[in-house]
Amino acid sequence: MEEVGRGLVDFVRDHQVWAAPVVLLLAFGESIAFISLLVPAWSALIAIGALIGVSGISFWPVWIAGAVGAALGDWLSYWFGYRFKDRVADMWPLSRYSDLLPRGQAFVQRWGIPSIYIGRFFGPLRATVPLAAGIFAMPYWRFQLANWISALIWSAVLLMFGDVISRIVEWVWRAV
C-alpha cells in the first residue's frame, strides 16, 4: 500500500493538473467505511499537501476536492449504516475487526454530533463513526452539517500539515 501512495504522490508531482481529482479519490477512500480499513490514504494526502508549497499546486481546489471526497465517503457510510443497520457488523472487512463497530457506536452514543468532528481525525473511528451514526439514525441534516464542516476542516488540516512540514524541511535544508 505504501508504494501505491508513493506512486500517486509522484504522479501528482509530475501531473499537477490531476492533484484535485487524486485528492478527491484518496479522501473518499479514506472516509468510506470498509475501504478506509484497507486503504489508509492519510499519508498520501499529507505528502500531496507537502507538494503544494514546493510545486505551485493551488491549495484551494485541492482543499475543496479533499473535503468533497471526505464528505461523500462519510455520507455513503452513513447511508450504508442507516440502510443495513445491524447486518453491517457481519460484513467483510468489519467482520474481521469485531471491536471497531462497537467502539464507534459507543463513541457516537456518548458524544452525539461532536463525534462526527472528533471521529474524522482518528483512523479507525473515521471509518466507523458515520456508519454508527447511520445505524442509530442520527438526524440526517444534523449529520450532514457536521459531516461537511468537519470534512472542510480535516482536508485543510492534512494538506496544511504537509505544506508546513515541507516548508520546515526546506528551511532546515537551506540552513544546513
Cβ proximity of 73 and 32 under 8 Å: yes
Give tens-digit pLDDT for 113-163: 999 999 998 877 787 899 999 998 999 999 999 999 999 999 999 999 998
- Residue 1 banded pLDDT, cuts 50, 70, 90: low
Smallest Cα–Cα separation from 54: which of 152, 162, 133? Answer: 162
> How crowded is the C-beta side of 104, counted as CA atoms within 13 Å?
31
Smallest Cα–Cα separation from 163: which of 175, 64, 155, 18? Answer: 155
Higher-scoring residue by pLDDT: 88, 136: 136
Compute the mean pLDDT over every residue in the chain, rounded to the nearest whole number.
88
Structure-derived torsion over alpha carbons of residues 121, 122, 125, 130, reported in degrees to the nearest 10: 10
